[in-house]
Amino acid sequence: MTHFAYFSGIERAFAGWRSCAFIVSMFLVSLSLRVQAQETKTFIAFSMREAQKRVELATTDRQGFRGQSDLFYLGGITVPRAIVVDLESGDWILLGERDPEASLLSLDDWVVALRARYFHPESDPGVTIDPIPSDECRKAGTEDSCRTSSRQKVRFFSGIQDTNFGQVCYSADWLMKLLAFGLDNVPVDGFKSRWALALEKKDSSTFRNSFTSVRLNFRETL
């Protein structure tokens, strides 16, 4: 018996990410699905059961499974779509597509996403980098509106710390903040950072001074 299910939670875990071969008795199967009369999509099926066997074999033989590209990069899946659960064999089969322009996804990423969803269902995987209020703000009880913070606190959600998944999330959040404060170049004509837009909307020197303080303190952490 096979159960077919879309996995919006797991798909969210892969959000912000975006590399086939047919291997008999391994775990890769190429499937062609005619979606519309004029359109044919090719899906890749990745068996977690067969992947586990190959990882265990590589570990027993003291070989690194990460050197097996078809295994480590999910058979080429870069856009996960659904999971097929075989209730009889207990196998989970990941179905997805390969987009040549998308970023690579790895077995490590997939396992971290599964762990995050099922061991931390209360939150989505992610990272936040937030200012740490200064001693002056804490003493004054103004932590929420503190303008003199010079340090940043990094928090990981859903247990993704110490993983490549977490590193990618961290890099994305860091880049977002650089773009927001106009501290990195964007190859887009007419792009305005949040910093630039804020200065356009607020004329008062008080606002400019306070916002400049936050921006300069953030720059000090680079």
Question: Among residues of the chain, what percentage have pLDDT more than 70?
Answer: 70
Query: What is the model's pTM?
Result: 0.67
- CA-based nearest residue to 82, from 33, 53, 50, 43: 43
156 vs 144, residue with greater confidence? 156
Among 28-32, 109-113, 210-214, 218-222, the range with the most confident prediction by mean pLDDT is 109-113
Whole-number Å distance between alpha carbons of 180 and 129: 13
- Give residue 125's pLDDT: 92
7 has pLDDT over 60: no
Of 8-17, 22-31, 59-68, 85-94, which gets the smallest average pLDDT?
A: 22-31
Pairing of strands 39-47, 28-36: antiparallel
Mean of pLDDT values over 182-189: 83
103 has pLDDT over 70: yes
- Give residue 50's pLDDT: 94
What are the tens digits of pLDDT across the range 49-95?
999 999 999 888 777 888 899 999 999 999 999 999 999 989 999 99
- Give residue 139's pLDDT: 82
DSSP string, 108-167: HHHHHHHHHHHH-TTS--EEEEEEEPPHHHHHHT-GGG-S---EEEEEEETT-TTSHHHH
Whole-number Å distance between alpha carbons of 143 and 160: 27
29 has pLDDT over 50: no
Mean of pLDDT values over 197-220: 54
Whole-number Å distance between alpha carbons of 117 and 62: 30
